[in-house]
């Protein structure tokens, strides 16, 4: 017993000393490489993605900051700071924007290289996730989130002969300032008291803010009147006031297909979707309620968005509902239907 123990101990210590020898040589090789190729000591920049209020209801949909100047060969690591999912995506010039579920060719887990020739994207990132992109060539590159169309930025990759205008401390301060400004944006109509119409709920509010690097937006992931009372036979209308973010009004279990309305939804003459519920156990799903995207000269115009969903309640009861995209952020409500 004792013999085999001491034998395995000496074998282990020999292996350990050999391992240290190898590490020592690698260390020397690394130092030699730094002397010969000083560009290996390149700066590594940091930025954050998203910011949110403590109750998760206010989501800053933004790269913070959304404009960064770096040198060729350097990298930027983005860290997710919000529960709403985002992507870090660099499309090639003129590339058709793909849905975030499709990703672009070159999809990477936590690291990508982008020089403008092949698109690079992360998958859907959540709170705490990190994604690093290395930029081996000079250029001015547009940064986008494939989930949120008003969430863009610019990375200026300069030749080492050019001086950089800012340091990391500046970007850290800028990220703080921009996220604070976004989360404090005053959004009108957040409470239903601002609305003169009866039986209406605002399903999401938002605002878009521009910077020199691109655009940021704020979305309030809440229903304006989360507990509303109506009478049997009444029709309640949900309207979105968010310029970009989609929401749903979903009674019953969350469907597989979130984008399209459930088969029991009809379309009113004015284009609004409409469902009828005869008991709290029935299900109806609005599909995405979202305004039309901004149009661009020279391209086919986008169709009008579907921004309203109506539900007629024929029987009394308590009808809970969610936004199936943002229920995890607390976007839920209920309708109390009195006789």
Contact footprint for Cu ion (CB under 5 A): 247, 323, 325-326, 331
CB of 286 to Cu ion, least distance (A): 11
Is 66 or 250 the residue whose CB approaches Cu ion more closely? 250
CB 206 within 8 A of CB 242: yes
Calpha distance 339→31 (Å, rounded): 80
Is 134 or 187 the residue whose CB approaches Cu ion more closely? 187
Is 171 or 319 the residue whose CB approaches Cu ion more closely? 319
CB of 228 to Cu ion, least distance (A): 17
Say which residues have a Cβ less than 8 Å from residue 126's Cβ, sequence separation at least 6.
80, 83, 85
Position of tokens 């989130």? 145
CB of 143 to Cu ion, least distance (A): 24
Is 82 or 331 the residue whose CB approaches Cu ion more closely? 331
CB 161 within 8 A of CB 176: no
CB of 219 to Cu ion, least distance (A): 8
Calpha distance 249→243 (Å, rounded): 17
Say which residues have a Cβ less than 8 Å from residue 77's Cβ, sequence separation at least 6.
44, 45, 46, 47, 130, 131, 132
Q: Angle CA(153)–CA(57)–CA(123) in degrees, nearest 5?
A: 45
CB of 329 to Cu ion, least distance (A): 8
Is 272 or 323 the residue whose CB approaches Cu ion more closely? 323
Is 66 or 324 the residue whose CB approaches Cu ion more closely? 324
Calpha distance 276→224 (Å, rounded): 21
CB of 115 to Cu ion, least distance (A): 37
Calpha distance 255→232 (Å, rounded): 26
């Amino acid at each position: 017993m004792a013999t085999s123990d001491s034998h395995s101990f000496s074998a282990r210590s020999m292996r350990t000393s050999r391992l240290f020898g190898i590490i020592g040589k690698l260390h020397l090789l690394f130092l030699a490489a730094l002397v010969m190729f000083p560009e290996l000591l390149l700066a590594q920049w940091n930025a954050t993605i998203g910011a949110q209020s403590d109750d998760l209801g206010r989501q800053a949909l933004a790269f913070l900051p959304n404009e960064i100047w770096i040198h060729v060969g350097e990298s930027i690591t983005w860290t997710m700071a919000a529960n709403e999912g985002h992507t870090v995506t660099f499309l090639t010039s003129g590339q058709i924007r793909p849905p975030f579920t499709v990703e672009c060719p070159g999809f990477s887990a936590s690291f990508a290289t982008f020089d403008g020739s092949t698109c690079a994207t992360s998958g859907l990132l959540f709170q705490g996730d990190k994604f690093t992109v290395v930029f081996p060539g000079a250029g001015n590159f547009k940064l986008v989130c494939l989930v949120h169309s008003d969430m863009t930025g610019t990375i200026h990759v300069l030749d080492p002969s050019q001086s950089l205008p800012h340091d990391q401390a500046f970007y850290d301060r800028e990220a703080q300032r921009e996220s604070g400004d976004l989360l404090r944006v005053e959004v009108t109509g957040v409470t239903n008291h601002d609305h003169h119409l009866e039986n209406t709920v605002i399903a999401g509010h938002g605002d878009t803010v521009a910077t020199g690097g691109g655009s940021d937006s704020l979305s309030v992931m809440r229903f304006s009147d989360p507990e509303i009372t109506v009478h049997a036979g009444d029709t309640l209308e949900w309207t979105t006031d968010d310029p970009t973010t989609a929401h749903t009004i979903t009674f019953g279990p969350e469907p597989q297909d979130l984008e399209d309305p459930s088969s029991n939804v009809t379309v009113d003459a004015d284009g609004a979707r409409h469902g009828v519920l005869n008991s709290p156990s029935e299900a109806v799903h609005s599909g995405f309620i979202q305004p039309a995207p901004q149009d661009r000269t020279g391209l086919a115009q986008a169709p009008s968005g579907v921004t309203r969903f109506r539900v007629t309640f024929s029987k009394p009861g308590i009808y809970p509902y969610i936004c199936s995209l943002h229920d995890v952020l607390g976007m839920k409500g209920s309708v109390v239907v009195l006789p």
